[in-house]
Amino acid sequence: MELEGYLRKALQKNEFFLTYQPFINFYTGKIIGAESLIRWDHPKLGLVSPLEFIPLAEETGLILNIGNWVLQTACGQAKMWQEKGAIDFTISVNVSAVQFQGINFVKEVKEALEKSGLQPKYLKLELTESVMLQNVQYSIDVMKELQKLGVQISIDDFGTVYSSLSYLKDLPANNLKIDRSFIQNLHANTKDMAIVRAIIAMSKGLELKVIAEGIEQQVQWQLLKEMGCDFAQGYYISKPLSAKQFETFLATGS
């Protein structure tokens, strides 16, 4: 397959780059960090969406090397921004199920931290519920090991797939990201409002910081702030930015 052949060479040819989408503290209005999002710029195909190539990378096992490259690049970039003055800047990295279940995952996380010099507490790993539910006990063990390193765990896309509360209480996690499908119509839909309010209350009880993703309008921002949500992300604040654009954003806050 053509795409697969291209994907096999993409790392070596330096065709991947990361974009960064900021997280804002609702109360201070300050940038607390960013989520790294991979992009593939192929000379013939142009930009290929991760929605297209991540599944292929998972099927072929290429995700192991790609994911490791993301970890190293993201940690290195975060450390560089900290050195340039971004105090307490945290970087979030999306982790695929195949990568997470890989036997070297914890070791690779440790190596990325050591190589970059980034303190573990400034790395957040974003895991979706489907990543963790492939093998719940194993996942919990790995998450505990990661937390022992000092790394933070975020539950991504919460509310979309299983949302089983019986396992949520046992998950070693630090942050919960409310899926953007609940945020989209928040201002117009009393059911979404009830669910989001409940997720925030539950998170506080479980001592999880709550992040709302996909905030596109001021009205959503305002409602979430009033509901006590901790951190904000979405196009209303900023789209994912190139490293260079992100530096400007950091410098000017816009």
Binding site for Mn ion (CB under 5 A): 156-157
131 binds ligand G (CB under 6 A): no
Tokens 């195909």, located at residue: 45
Which CB, 126 or 129, lies closer to Na ion? 126
DSSP state of 241: B
178's CB contacts (< 8 A; 6+ apart) are 158, 159, 196, 199, 200, 210, 211, 212, 213, 229
Report what 230 binds from ligand G, Mn ion, Na ion, none; CB cut-off 5-8 Å by kind: none
214 binds ligand G (CB under 6 A): yes
Helix (H) or strand (E) holding 37: strand 31-42
Report what 111 binds from Mn ion, ligand G, Na ion, none; CB cut-off 5-8 Å by kind: none
129 binds ligand G (CB under 6 A): no
Identify which range of 136-144, 160-168, 214-222, 224-232 contacts ligand G by CB under 6 A: 214-222
One DSSP character per residue, 127-189 reads: EEHHHHTTSHHHHHHHHHHHHHHT-EEEEEEETSS---HHHHTT---SEEEEPHHHHTTTTT-
Residue 128 phi/psi, 5-degree rounding, is -85, 165
Q: Which of 8, 50, 80, 147 lies at the binding interface for ligand G (CB under 6 A)?
A: 50
76-115 residues near ligand G, rule: CB under 6 A? 94, 96
222-251 residues near ligand G, rule: CB under 6 A? 234-235, 240
Question: Contact positions toward ligand G, by CB under 6 A?
Answer: 21, 37-38, 49-51, 54, 70, 94, 96, 156-157, 180, 213-216, 234-235, 240
